[in-house]
């Protein structure tokens, strides 16, 4: 299958599987998604609505991207425009027994660390208190872990957090806020430590593939990474309501492979008929997640690494649009 355009891409990423349909059938009450305007939010909202059209799905964002609000509403999703950092605006949002928290800040953190901490730590505390009577699934990041040996198989949920840099520290702060309010109010919560979701318009594979296609050097300093298809990550998010608990459940979310960046570049090179150019040397450590527990709970991702590379190569070759937001996955000092 070739993905021809963004419409087909969005349709594919929001196509619910049996597990999504089951959870959206069994879930009691409405679903509220906070921070829907990011990379993953729109397809997640659509997946939830398509899984059970009778379920009320509400999406909250500033809606600064033209046309997003109208597009979601045309798909039957109820939208609310709000600045979540405004306590009064947060208080006015509708009640919901099921809440997904997606808001956060990463890029641009260096030089505006204060805003990153506010968005990633203070805001989660506000939300955790506002929706203390709900079930909450909140996105975190694998960045809370230290760099681990490549041969280790990746950090597990038992690996003590050791975040590198202020962005990662603030994400751990996000987790601590949800943990705090979960413990004092008994709020059932699941924290998803994700890295890295792949959308053909964004992601590690796009970053590597574009460099190969444009004959630019591929940086090997962070020589290995984990990836997962965005649709699979969103499916896990919905199904994670089933494991919400207090204190919060923690789940690493990514694919099963430790992906060699050199190998991925060579695979793109074979697709394009281009010899990749490399710079730097692979380190013995990398930011890596071990998602074995996730796969035991929810099964293996439906889209394989090879399929993601093939789709991404076709997208690049065909001049498909991108979000023009490099992941900076090669960063080793935590400065974004």
Q: What is the pLDDT of residue 248?
A: 98
Task: Choose among 230, 311, 198, 228: nearest CA to 47.
Answer: 230
Q: Quick check: 55 pLDDT over 90?
A: yes
Q: What is the pLDDT of residues 129-144, one digit of tens each?
A: 999 999 999 999 999 9
Share of the chain above pLDDT 70, in %: 100
Give the Cα-Cα-Cα angle 305, 290, 302 (nearest 5 degrees). Answer: 35
Q: What is the pLDDT of residue 111?
A: 85
**Mean pLDDT for the chain?**
96
Q: What is the pLDDT of residue 325?
A: 87
| 6-199+227-257+287-301 is classed CATH 3.90.1150.10 | no
Domain ranges of the chain: 6-199+227-257+287-301
Please give the average per-residue pLDDT across 250-262, as a whole number: 98
Q: What is the pLDDT of residue 135?
A: 98
pTM of the model: 0.96
Q: How far is it, in rounded angstroms, from Cα 230 to Cα 328?
A: 18
Q: What is the pLDDT of residue 72?
A: 98
Q: What is the pLDDT of residue 330?
A: 92
Q: Quick check: 127 pLDDT over 90?
A: yes
* Residue 285, beta-bridge partner list: 149
Q: What is the pLDDT of residue 1?
A: 80
Q: What is the pLDDT of residues 279-301, one digit of tens each?
A: 999 999 999 999 999 999 999 99
């Amino acid at each position: 299958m070739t993905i021809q355009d963004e419409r087909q891409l969005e349709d594919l990423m929001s196509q619910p599987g049996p597990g999504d349909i089951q959870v959206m059938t069994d879930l009691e009450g409405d679903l509220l998604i906070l921070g829907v305007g990011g990379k993953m939010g729109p397809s997640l909202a659509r997946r939830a609505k398509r899984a059970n059209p009778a379920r009320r799905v509400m999406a909250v964002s500033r809606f600064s991207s033209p046309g997003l609000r109208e597009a979601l509403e045309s798909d039957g999703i109820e939208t609310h425009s709000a600045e979540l950092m405004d306590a009064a605006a947060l208080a006015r949002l509708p009640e919901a027994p099921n809440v997904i928290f997606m808001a956060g800040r990463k890029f641009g953190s260096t030089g505006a660390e204060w805003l990153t901490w506010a968005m990633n730590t203070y805001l989660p505390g506000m939300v955790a208190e506002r929706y203390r009577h709900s079930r909450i699934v909140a996105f975190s990041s694998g960045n809370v872990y230290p760099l681990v040996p490549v041969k280790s198989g990746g950090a597990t949920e038992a690996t003590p957090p050791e975040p590198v840099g202020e962005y990662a520290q603030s994400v751990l702060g996000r987790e601590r806020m949800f943990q705090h309010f979960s413990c004092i109010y008994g709020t059932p919560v699941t924290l998803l430590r994700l890295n890295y979701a792949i959308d053909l318009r964004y992601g590690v594979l796009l970053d590597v593939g574009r460099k190969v296609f444009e004959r630019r050097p591929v940086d090997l300093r962070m020589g290995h990474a984990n990836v997962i298809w965005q649709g699979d990550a969103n499916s896990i998010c919905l199904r994670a309501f089933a494991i919400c608990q207090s204190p919060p459940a923690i789940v690493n979310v990514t694919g099963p492979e430790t992906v060699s960046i050199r190998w991925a570049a060579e695979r793109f090179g074979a697709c394009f008929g281009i010899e990749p150019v490399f710079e730097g040397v692979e380190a013995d450590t990398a930011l890596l997640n071990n998602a074995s527990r996730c796969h035991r709970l929810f099964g293996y991702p439906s889209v394989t690494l090879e399929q993601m590379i093939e789709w991404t190569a076709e997208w690049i070759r065909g001049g498909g649009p991108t979000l023009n937001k490099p992941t900076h996955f090669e960063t080793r000092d935590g400065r974004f």
